[in-house]
Structure 1
Amino acid sequence: MKKNMINKFTLKVLSLIIAILIWLLVRNVDDPIVVRTFYEIPVSIENASYFAENLEIPLLVDGKDTVKVRVKGARSVVSKLKKEDIKAVADMTQIISKDTTPIMVPVEVTGTGISDSDITVRPRNIQVDIEKQKSVEKTIAVSTGDTQPDKDYEIGNLKANPEKVTISGPETIINKIDKVVALIDVTGRKESNIEIKSQLKIYDKNLDELSPKQLEYLNIKEISDNTIRIQAQFWKVKQNVKIKAEYSGEPKRGYEVDSINLVPDTISVAGTDEALKKLEQEGNTLEIPGKYIDVTDKTGDFEQNIDLSELLPEDLKLVRDLNSSVIATVKILPYNSRDYEVSVTQIEADNKAEDLDLVFQDEQITIRAKAKEQDLDSLSAANIQVQIDLNGYGEGEYEVPVTVTLPGGYELVESIKVKVKLVPGAEK
């Protein structure tokens, strides 16, 4: 009886073992153990503060900052793994020795759903460089890139908050930093005042943006998530603003200022509501002060280039793509003289070659005549005779002297020339 019970127990144990073996066999067929290799897994530094006491920072060496990881496990688990599921860490507290060159640190790797014993890493140790920590202070430049506000508005003021930052990190990276920029998108904006979030971008001296790897080593004080706020103002545009000019000084004795012509004589500006209202009260006119056009001891015409951006108050600005230069042409005439505009159609051409046609390059010429002041009003362009002598001129472009005949009592102040072109005539 006892022997029979032992046999039954033995059969039960044997049956259990066989069942387990069958289960393992089935499981291995349906979900076998596989090995998978992941390449270029980035290594991150842990416990970098281990060097903080000596104001030092550990850096991974470019090109040697990744490892190869081999993972073993059930196919159902391993096949679903992504590179992002595998973390490789170099713990600075585990440095093998600070006295070796290079300094090596063990790499610890973990994977989602994988036991440590099923993970193999190559290389097992990774090189680090130890650098001195350095800080630099930079102002923040605000850039709108290629974006533009609404067509009837201009960017008024852009102010970063904070306006400057202190960046600390490894000396080699800090020495590369050239500028810090906050880039914002202002497409279609027209609000008078708005706050816009922006992420900082840091550029090196080659105007290349620092890589994400380089940025990981940097610490920007008092800024979280590398994000700041930009206070932006957009100003309304006012078109057809007139320009007038004053002058200072006196021409040489016997001469006077006849006129000042401005090119352009109207512009478009943008400004705050208060500035545009004040401009409207002034007749929508900007005045160039006399100090910019000095006629002291002048005896002839001259040009003066004036930068309008220097004249505008802080709450006004020129619209985008508008040249800030204004050219003032100042006419200086002798007393009792005046300019008369004569059409080139009045010019008589003598001795022109018969096989050539005459083309004038300008539409009119300016005749400067002198007479008694009361007689100047009586003279008109129609009373002035003008002619040119084309004897000896062949095909080409020329400046030809103009013979001017004035009525009695009038005197020509200065000689003039006219630009002409002689071209082959049409066959008859």
Structure 2
Amino acid sequence: MKAKKNYFEKLFSDKRFTIVFSILIAIGLWFVVRSIINPNSIATIRNVKVNYDYNSAAYLSQGLDIVEKDTEDKSVTISGDDNQISGVEAEDILLYPNYSQVNGPGTYTLKLVATQADSLLNSRSYDFNEISPSAYVQVTFDKVSTKKFTITVNASGIDPEDGYYVDTPVASPAEVTVRGPESVVNSIDKVMANVTLNEKRTESALTTAQLEFLDKEGNPVDSTYLTTDVSQVEVTIPVLKIKEVPLTVEYTHVPVGYDVEVLNPTLSQETIRVAGSAEQVDALESINAGYIDLAKLQLGTSVDLSIELPDGLRNIDSVQKVTVSFNTMGFTTRTISVSEIRVVNAASGTTVTPSVGRINNVTLIGREDELEELSESSVVAQIDASPTNVSVTKGQQNMEVEIIVPGTETVFATGTYTVLCDISTGA
């Protein structure tokens, strides 16, 4: 035994023997690996989807977009070592069309290219052998167009309680930007948001709605290849409370103490129905139809006013204008000259002096008997020289004049009057 041990020690100490022995071991191991791992294995990966977005810059840069495409999944046959192809799934394969021949709108038959998905992260090594049932796909392209549409809300089934009113539904956002094939975008006539609520309500409703694209005939437009900046909208359906309130008018340039009711005003529309939130409507007592300027009033004429409602209110009766007429039977006009000119409210150190001593052609309106008895000397022309009305520190300025008729019930001045005044400041 000792002799045999010495023999093996001597044998393995020989460098030539160890080299030959190592080579033989390596060859043996190689044959073992070859018998276990088959380098020519084949696998078929099914349900691989075609990725039309990969390399899409090739057609998007030409202003094109896909109108129609094949949607059939493919089977891809791969080959390689068992340990490389084992476990490969459909998600591991990137299958996309070669867009190099696409040069304008039209239908193309494009060859598919197969590669490993996320190849930079994938360390597997295998070959792609076959794509079935076909290695080609048919794709139709068209020019890309972008257009903005107003969203129209179609609400149905809203049943307001008695005394309530359904106002125009509002979509938020009110517009949508549509991008897609030019022919498809141009076929869109209207973008609708349809809402159905089958219930009685005394309050406004808030809901969401998907968008629908319609052509001029009202038929749906295929939106498969359209993209939008919003896919759904919030729709507010206002349910407002109705109330009938009286219309009133107000006056400007009314002399102090003058009662406009002596003019016997009559409105063509005495009341108006409005709708709004219950809180706003319940607090409402009247609606001001507008303002009448007495300085512009003429006997025998009426005044038309445009009705403007406060924010939040709706005009149910659609009454846009009201005519105010005056029963001024027994009234007449008289033209006089006013020599009593007074300056009031001048600042300390400021002197305002009218450059004339009389204002001619002042028109008065009133009952005939009062006008006949009226003395010109009892009529006063008053200039308000408050600092806010004086724009110069020295020189001349036209100043507005208010005509005052004291001690009368029906007489007032109509028209506007100014006087050129000398203005100075300081000692």
Q: Same fold (TM over 0.5)?
A: no
TM range (shorter): 0.3 to 0.5
For normalisation by structure 1, the TM-score amounts to 0.44
Q: Calculate the TM-score normalised by the size of structure 2.
A: 0.44
Q: Say which one has the larger Rg.
A: 2
